């Protein structure tokens, strides 16, 4: 053992937003641990479960059927940061540091190691806790595909597939009615879902956060297509896209000190602006949480299983303080200190962008 102590019981939690493949990771962890004689305790509702001591014993009988199910059997949360945990004290609702409580409850539960499955927020929280002595391993999860340490995150492939199918369906009704159709997809500050689904769905325009757009450039593209005889246009918009010198569109602010902004609404804004400018009938569709739900794709099931097996082995061998990551087709261990830093964004000079431009897709930046 790397830390000199035999691991007998592991805890596992899912943090941040849900996504397809979480249950597959949990299943792989439990099945792998069970074969090594290691018990697994599920922790409910992310780090909130360690704060409130909410545990559930997991074994093969409880997880073996989970491979094809989306969501997470353990529940999740993207608000319960132990270092800024919202509590009401003396009638005042404020953020409190309860990280010491997390460490104490972890040991009281008889856990020897933790596997935290989550995105950038979960990685940063877990890294800070490891610096306080918590023995933990992380698994990268997010449909946004924006974690720098891994080539891809599970959940992304499924989300792209769902968005692409939606674009395919919207395309037929757009052509039937000669409309402009705007499709808003998720991704926060990263444009991966919009780029991949827009390219696969044959969009005319793709708007991503990494390339601020000009409304006039989109109008020019639409008018050019109409002059060439095309009677409809598909515009795919990432939720974090913004106009040049503009701001992202915020759907609402929430009581979350870690990330109070909830993005959303740019699709409707773009749709209305285009209809006003061009006079063409326009409809906007916001895919929202449809992209995060349902059955994981074959690729995501297999990637989730690989991540789960390697995370369990890493924890059982006492190799804590790491993220299991996919790099050049192989599962590698990346120190959490490195994994928690930076964000994987679309490069405006990437091959995918060049390919899209080569087949005539506009990114709203050409005037």
> Is 90 part of the annotated catalytic residue set?
no
How far does CA 145 lie from the centroid of its chain? 6
The residue whose two tokens read 């596992």 is 12
Angle at 312 between CA 310 and CA 313, to 5 degrees: 65
Name the active-site residue from 18, 112, 144, 157.
144
Question: Residues 181, 174: contact at Cβ < 8 Å?
Answer: yes
In which element (H, E) is residue 170 found? helix 156-177
Strand ranges (DSSP E) for the chain? 9-14, 39-43, 55-58, 85-89, 92-96, 113-118, 136-140, 180-185, 205-207, 233-238, 250-253, 261-263, 282-286, 322-327, 330-335
The residue whose two tokens read 């460490």 is 103
As a residue count, the chain comes to 367
DSSP, residue by residue, 194-261: HHHHHHHTT-SEEE-TTS-B-HHHHHHHHHHHHHTT---EEEEEETT--BTT--PPEEEE-S-SS--E
Environment class of 265 (CB within 10 Å of its CB; exposed 0-12, middle 13-18, buried 19+): middle
Closest CA to 137 of 63, 38, 20, 68: 38
Environment class of 313 (CB within 10 Å of its CB; exposed 0-12, middle 13-18, buried 19+): middle
Question: Residues 242, 263: contact at Cβ < 8 Å?
Answer: no
For residue 5, what are the contacts with CB-CB under 8 A and spacing of at least 6?
112, 318
Q: Which structure tokens are listed for 118?
A: 């989550």
Give the catalytic positions in this structure.
144
């Amino acid at each position: 053992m790397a830390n000199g102590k035999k691991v007998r019981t592991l805890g596992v939690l899912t943090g941040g937003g849900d996504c397809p493949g979480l249950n597959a990771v949990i299943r792989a962890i439990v099945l792998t641990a069970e074969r090594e004689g290691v018990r697994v305790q599920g922790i409910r509702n992310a780090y909130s479960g360690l704060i409130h001591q909410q545990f559930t014993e997991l074994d093969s009988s409880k997880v073996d059927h989970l491979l094809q199910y989306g969501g997470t059997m353990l529940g999740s949360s993207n608000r319960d940061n132990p270092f800024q945990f919202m509590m009401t004290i003396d009638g005042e609702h404020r953020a409190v540091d309860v990280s010491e409580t997390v460490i104490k409850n972890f040991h009281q539960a008889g856990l020897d190691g933790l596997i935290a499955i989550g995105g950038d927020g979960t990685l940063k929280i877990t890294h800070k806790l490891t610096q306080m002595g918590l023995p933990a391993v992380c698994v990268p999860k997010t449909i946004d595909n924006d974690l720098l340490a891994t080539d891809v995150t599970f959940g992304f492939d499924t989300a792209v597939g769902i968005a692409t199918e939606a674009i395919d369906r919207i395309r037929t009704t757009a052509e039937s009615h000669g409309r402009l159709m705007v499709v808003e997809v998720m991704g926060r500050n990263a444009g991966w879902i919009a780029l991949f689904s827009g390219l696969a769905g044959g969009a005319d325009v793709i708007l991503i956060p990494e390339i601020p757009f000009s409304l006039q450039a989109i109008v020019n593209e639409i008018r050019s297509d109409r002059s060439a005889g095309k009677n409809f246009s598909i515009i795919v918009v990432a939720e974090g896209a913004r106009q040049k010198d503009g701001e992202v569109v915020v759907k609402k602010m929430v009581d979350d000190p870690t990330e109070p902004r909830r993005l959303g609404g740019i699709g409707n804004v773009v749709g209305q602006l285009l209809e006003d400018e061009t006079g063409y009938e326009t409809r906007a569709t916001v895919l929202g949480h449809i992209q995060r739900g349902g059955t994981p794709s074959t690729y995501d099931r297999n990637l989730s299983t690989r991540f789960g097996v390697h995370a369990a082995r890493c924890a059982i061998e006492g190799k804590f303080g790491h993220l299991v990551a996919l790099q050049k087709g192989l599962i590698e261990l990346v120190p959490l200190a490195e994994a928690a830093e930076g964000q994987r964004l679309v490069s405006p000079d990437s091959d995918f962008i060049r390919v899209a431009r080569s087949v005539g897709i506009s990114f709203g930046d050409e005037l």
